Amino acid sequence: MQQRVHALSVGFLLVQILVGYEWFASGLTKLVHGDFPAGLAADLHERAQEAAPWYGHFLRGVVIPHASGFGYAIEVTELLAGVVLMATAVVGLSVLRREQGRRLCLWTAGPTALAAFAGLVLAINFVLANRMGFSPVASDSFDEGISLDALLVGIQLVLLGVALASLSPLWARETQAGRHAGALYEVGSPTGQATPVPPRPQ
């Protein structure tokens, strides 16, 4: 049973590395070429015509007037999300079989969740801007069923869910510690301050 769980964990972390590399490569490409922020407005003008009406209105009213700033934000977010996803996955792989590494894996779940959420927001917007869908039947026989951006939406939902689930032991531990600390003090002393409760006799 442990070997099966270990194999699933390794496979999951390898998928996370692939997703991280996709974001890292996309962000690095934009930074190296340097023309993404300046050309984003013109690109979005065309996409806004074909996007869903409500999303096209959002692009024209919010994004396009500030396209340069959004362009820099997209570059940096893609790059950082990729680096975090790859780094936390590598850490997870390196300490997967070590007992002392479990606590480290728990602490890497927070950055993983943030990176997965950032990637999810980007992927959803790319799907909407390109008017992609999740239909199992493509527009023609020579087209792919689901685009990469649409596939990333599903994968990063899984990454985000697993990362948040991994944080639950930390939340439970902090809640238990807070309750334990609160049980050692009694609030409502004459001075208005918490006073220690004497230990109960055994």
Reported confidence tier of residue 183, pLDDT bands at 50, 70, 90: very low
What's the length of the chain? 202
Structural domain count of the chain: 1
Q: How confident is the model at residue 171 (pLDDT cuts 50, 70, 90)?
A: low
**Per-residue pLDDT at 24 exceeds 70:** yes
pLDDT at 41 over 60: yes
Contacts within 8 Å (CB) and 24+ apart, 135-144: none
Write the CA distances from 107 to 3, 16, 47, 192, 200, integer angstroms: 23, 16, 40, 37, 36
Which of 90, 134, 141 has the alpha carbon at shortest distance from 112?
Answer: 90
Domain contains 9: yes
Mean pLDDT, the chain, whole residue set: 80
Reply yes or no on whether the pLDDT at 182 is more than 90: no
Q: Which of 82, 66, 68 is nearest to 29 (CA)?
A: 82
Q: How confident is the model at residue 191 (pLDDT cuts 50, 70, 90)?
A: very low
The answer to the question of residue 201 being in a domain is no
Whether 148 maps to a domain, the answer reads yes
Instruction: List the domain range (segments joined by +) for residue 96.
Output: 2-196
72 — pLDDT class (breaks 50, 70, 90)? very high
Percent of the chain with pLDDT over 90: 45
Tokens of 133: 């869908």
Give the model confidence (pLDDT) of 100-115 as tens digits: 555 656 678 889 999 9
Task: With respect to residue 114, please indicate whether it lies within any of the assigned structural domains.
Answer: yes
The CA distance from 68 to 65, in Å, is 8
pLDDT in tens, 119-164: 999 999 998 988 776 666 666 666 666 777 888 899 999 999 988 8
Alpha carbon of residue 103 to chain centroid: 20
DSSP labels, 145-166? SS-HHHHHHHHHHHHHHHHHHH
Amino acid occupying residue 30: K
Is 202 among the domain residues? no
